[in-house]
Amino acid sequence: MRMLQYGLFRFGESALGLKVLRRMEDLRAMERWDAGRLARWQLRHLRRLLDHAWENVPYYRALWKSAGVHPGDLARKSLDEIAALPVVTKRMLVDAGDACLDRRHDKRCFVEDRSSGTTGRVFISRITRAQRSWNIAAMLRSWEWTGWRMGDCWMRLPFGASRGMKRRIQAALGGGAYSVIPRICSQVMDEVLVDIVRAEARLIRVLPAIAFALARQAMASSLHDAAALRRITIATTGDTMHEPYRTAAERVFAPPVYDYYGGDGIPGAAQCAAGRYHVPPTTHLELVGGARGDVPARIVLTSLTNTAMPMIRYDIGDTALPLPPDAGPCPCGCTWPMLARITGRVSDIMVTPAGCWLTPVHFTSLLRTLDGLNGFQVVQHAPDAARLLLATAPGFDRRAAETFLLPHLADYAGPGFRFFIECVDEIPLTDAGKHRYLITSPFGAAPPLAPPA
Ligand SMILES: [Zn+2]
């Protein structure tokens, strides 16, 4: 069976023009490189990337010119010199449009990577097939750190409306099953728990909030085979893995939970068995500001191997904690740079009177299909009602949006709950200057974090 899955994977990757297995081999070898060899490899790719962006990507050339820097002067020194280049943000890249793409190619030949998480705004990054191979390899290699092997059954449990056949086929070619979670409630969680045991899944790829919801349901219900669930590894991605989520998931599923961090087409960092986050060599990760004691710092990413839409000093809007200076090498043996914890991408959970849970992903999965949106925020102003604030731009069609959104939202929230849509110019930030997607207190309080007795 394993050989069959392996053969299927080989067939799948060549049909898609990818070289995932080869890149996984590269990554396995690179885990043992010393710091000097890793730095030389990264510097070589950084120089190539900066030269390419200067020559072929009009946005970066204009940006660096106006900042008075020439990348050729920088990249001859060390990786740290990259800090002399200006930081770019999602908004800057969206505004730049096609000017931030490799002008030598038609953009249709790149792979689109749509932000699926909790950013509140649709963002399409574009990557080459070579980069896609690196990205998939980084994720699969991190799964191997859990004991998963190519050919073991895994399941992907995305949240939201049903997706196209393409993703199911892609998952099947990689030996994975694909089951969409339409809403987070007891009934659906029970069905999913039964499915994953029946499929003999070795690993589940899921959002942290859904791992938490599954764990709570397993603890609350006597329906499920506790020993079978205990053999399943949880690999989370797409949102912050909060400690209460992790604690609950590790009581039900095979500990530890392995979190994978990445976004906008860039692999960020993956947790090893020792609990540390390792940054793969294809990504250069800087921590900017903060980072004293337990003060998180902003993550700035450079994807060293993507030429389609170079992401050079990209402020992704997340925060992380570094390891203390005396942490020493990782017991897992991997030599890649490390982080202690990803602290950003905070999201809340809203509970409706019908007992359904809503997370920011409920909204992003719907809103990303609409044009003319700059962001959103949900404010629960009564036990049975919430306002959905939409920051709109030209091109937004309010009537069409309401016709589309309200039935879906009613379905997610269950009976006895109402949404009111309001259009605003901008979504207000918190006093700390942060964006919150869901504001729930003091009504729909977050579910109790302690497991039921
Ligand atoms: Zn490690």
Q: Are strands 314-321 and 341-342 parallel, antiparallel or unpaired?
A: antiparallel
Q: What is the CATH number of the domain that holds 276?
A: 3.40.50.12780
Please give the distance, rounded to the nearest whole angstrom, from the Cα atom of residue 316 to the centre of ligand 1.
Answer: 24
Please give the distance, rounded to the nearest whole angstrom, from the Cα atom of residue 270 to the centre of ligand 1.
Answer: 9
Please report the pLDDT score of residue 179 as a whole number: 80
Give 208 or 271, the one with higher predicted confidence: 271
Please report the pLDDT score of residue 435 as a whole number: 57
**One domain, residues 312 and 394:** no
**One domain, residues 99 and 223:** yes
Mean pLDDT, rounded, for 259-264: 91
Q: Are strands 373-382 and 357-358 parallel, antiparallel or unpaired?
A: unpaired
Question: 452 in a domain, yes or no?
Answer: no
Please report the pLDDT score of residue 346 as a whole number: 40
Please give the distance, rounded to the nearest whole angstrom, from the Cα atom of residue 226 to the centre of ligand 1.
Answer: 29
Question: 345 in a domain, yes or no?
Answer: no
- Residue 205 φ then ψ, to 5°: -100, 120
Q: What is the DSSP string of 307-355?
A: -SS---SEEEEEEEEPPPTT--S-TT---S-EESEE-------EE-TTS
Q: Is 82 exposed, middle or buried (CB count within 10 Å of its CB: 0-12, 13-18, 19+)?
A: buried
Please give the distance, rounded to the nearest whole angstrom, from the Cα atom of residue 210 to the centre of ligand 1.
Answer: 25
Give 438 or 28, the one with higher predicted confidence: 28
Per-residue burial over 223-232, b if 16 or more Cβ lie within 10 Å, else e, is ebeeeebeeb
Of 9-13, 23-27, 216-220, 388-392, give the lowest mean pLDDT range. Answer: 9-13
Mean pLDDT, rounded, for 112-124: 64
**One domain, residues 98 and 171:** yes
Q: How far apart are the first and last CA of the chain?
A: 41
Question: 95 in a domain, yes or no?
Answer: yes
pLDDT at 308 over 80: yes
Q: Tens digits of per-residue pLDDT, 204-233? A: 999 887 898 899 899 998 888 999 999 999
**One domain, residues 102 and 229:** yes
pLDDT tier, 445 (very low <50, low <70, confident <90, very high otherwise): very low
pLDDT at 386 over 60: yes
**One domain, residues 194 and 281:** yes
**One domain, residues 290 and 376:** no
Please give the distance, rounded to the nearest whole angstrom, from the Cα atom of residue 105 to the centre of ligand 1.
Answer: 38
Q: What is the CATH number of the domain that holds 384?
A: 3.30.300.30
**One domain, residues 84 and 140:** yes
Please give the distance, rounded to the nearest whole angstrom, from the Cα atom of residue 324 to the centre of ligand 1.
Answer: 15
Question: 324 in a domain, yes or no?
Answer: yes
Please report the pLDDT score of residue 330 as a whole number: 97
Please give the distance, rounded to the nearest whole angstrom, from the Cα atom of residue 330 to the centre of ligand 1.
Answer: 5
Question: 144 in a domain, yes or no?
Answer: yes
Please give the distance, rounded to the nearest whole angstrom, from the Cα atom of residue 285 to the centre of ligand 1.
Answer: 16
Please give the distance, rounded to the nearest whole angstrom, from the Cα atom of residue 318 to the centre of ligand 1.
Answer: 21
Q: Tens digits of per-residue pLDDT, 136-187? A: 999 999 999 999 998 888 998 887 655 567 767 767 766 677 788 877 788 8
Alpha-carbon distance of 131 to 135, in angstroms, equals: 6
**One domain, residues 176 and 265:** yes
Contacts of 254 by beta carbon, 8 Å cutoff, 6+ apart = 230, 231, 232, 233, 234
Please give the distance, rounded to the nearest whole angstrom, from the Cα atom of residue 138 to the centre of ligand 1.
Answer: 14
Please give the distance, rounded to the nearest whole angstrom, from the Cα atom of residue 144 to the centre of ligand 1.
Answer: 12
pLDDT tier, 256 (very low <50, low <70, confident <90, very high otherwise): very high
Question: 251 in a domain, yes or no?
Answer: yes
pLDDT at 389 over 90: yes
Rg (CA), the chain: 22
In sequence order, the β-bridge partners of residue 260 are 237, 270
Of 56-70, 97-111, 290-304, give the lowest mean pLDDT range. Answer: 290-304
Please report the pLDDT score of residue 293 as a whole number: 58
Please report the pLDDT score of residue 263 as a whole number: 84
Please give the distance, rounded to the nearest whole angstrom, from the Cα atom of residue 337 to the centre of ligand 1.
Answer: 10
Domain end marker among 338, 359, 380: 338
Please report the pLDDT score of residue 290 as a whole number: 61
* Range of the structural domain that residue 17 is part of: 1-338
Please give the distance, rounded to the nearest whole angstrom, from the Cα atom of residue 70 to the centre of ligand 1.
Answer: 36
pLDDT at 120 over 70: no
Please give the distance, rounded to the nearest whole angstrom, from the Cα atom of residue 345 to the centre of ligand 1.
Answer: 23
The residues whose Cβ lies within 5 A of ligand 1, an ion, are 272, 274, 276, 330, 332, 334
% of the chain at pLDDT higher than 90: 51
Give 394 or 128, the one with higher predicted confidence: 128
Q: What is the DSSP string of 368-383?
A: TTSSSEEEEEEEEEET
Please report the pLDDT score of residue 451 as a whole number: 28
Mean pLDDT, rounded, for 422-450: 60
pLDDT tier, 119 (very low <50, low <70, confident <90, very high otherwise): very low
**One domain, residues 299 and 363:** no
Please give the distance, rounded to the nearest whole angstrom, from the Cα atom of residue 22 to the centre of ligand 1.
Answer: 22
Q: Tens digits of per-residue pLDDT, 320-347? A: 888 988 999 999 999 999 999 887 654 4
Q: Tens digits of per-residue pLDDT, 174-192? A: 667 778 887 778 888 999 9
Mean pLDDT, rounded, for 300-306: 96
Please report the pLDDT score of residue 282 as a whole number: 98
Give the count of domains, the chain. Answer: 2
Please report the pLDDT score of residue 143 as a whole number: 96
Please report the pLDDT score of residue 86 as a whole number: 92
Please give the distance, rounded to the nearest whole angstrom, from the Cα atom of residue 339 to the centre of ligand 1.
Answer: 10
Please give the distance, rounded to the nearest whole angstrom, from the Cα atom of residue 202 to the centre of ligand 1.
Answer: 21
Q: Are strands 154-156 and 203-206 parallel, antiparallel or unpaired?
A: parallel
Domain end marker among 317, 338, 359: 338
pLDDT tier, 66 (very low <50, low <70, confident <90, very high otherwise): very high
Domain end marker among 303, 338, 373: 338
Please give the distance, rounded to the nearest whole angstrom, from the Cα atom of residue 335 to the centre of ligand 1.
Answer: 8
Please report the pLDDT score of residue 64 as a whole number: 95
Please give the distance, rounded to the nearest whole angstrom, from the Cα atom of residue 170 to the centre of ligand 1.
Answer: 29
pLDDT tier, 286 (very low <50, low <70, confident <90, very high otherwise): very high
% of the chain at pLDDT higher than 70: 86
**One domain, residues 220 and 251:** yes
Please give the distance, rounded to the nearest whole angstrom, from the Cα atom of residue 247 to the centre of ligand 1.
Answer: 20
**One domain, residues 297 and 362:** no
Helices and strands of the chain, counted as H and E runs: 14, 21
Please give the distance, rounded to the nearest whole angstrom, from the Cα atom of residue 214 to the centre of ligand 1.
Answer: 27
Please give the distance, rounded to the nearest whole angstrom, from the Cα atom of residue 209 to the centre of ligand 1.
Answer: 24
Question: 204 in a domain, yes or no?
Answer: yes
Alpha-carbon distance of 437 to 318, in angstroms, equals: 14
Please give the distance, rounded to the nearest whole angstrom, from the Cα atom of residue 137 to the centre of ligand 1.
Answer: 17
Please give the distance, rounded to the nearest whole angstrom, from the Cα atom of residue 302 to the centre of ligand 1.
Answer: 22
Question: 35 in a domain, yes or no?
Answer: yes
pLDDT tier, 26 (very low <50, low <70, confident <90, very high otherwise): very high
User: What's the chain's average pLDDT?
Assistant: 85
**One domain, residues 31 and 171:** yes
Please give the distance, rounded to the nearest whole angstrom, from the Cα atom of residue 35 to the centre of ligand 1.
Answer: 15
Please give the distance, rounded to the nearest whole angstrom, from the Cα atom of residue 48 to the centre of ligand 1.
Answer: 29
pTM tops 0.85: no
pLDDT at 89 over 90: no
CA distances from 84 to 55, 115, 275, 292 (A): 19, 28, 32, 22
